[in-house]
Amino acid sequence: MDLRGFREDAKTYDAVERCLERIAEAAAKLGDLAPVLAPGPPWQQIRALGNRLRHEYDIIREDRLWDIVQVDLPPLCAACEDALVRMLEGSGRE
One DSSP character per residue, 11-44 reads: HHHHHHHHHHHHHHHHHHHHTTHHHHHS-SS-HH
Average pLDDT for residues 15-30, to the nearest whole number?
96
Please provide the DSSP assignment of 75-92 as one string: HHHHHHHHHHHHHHHHHT
pTM: 0.87
The Cα angle at residue 60 between residues 47 and 65, in degrees rounded to 5: 70
* Neighbour count for residue 4 (Cβ, 10 Å): 10
**pLDDT digit string (tens) for 23-69?**
999 999 999 999 999 999 999 999 999 999 999 989 999 999 999 99
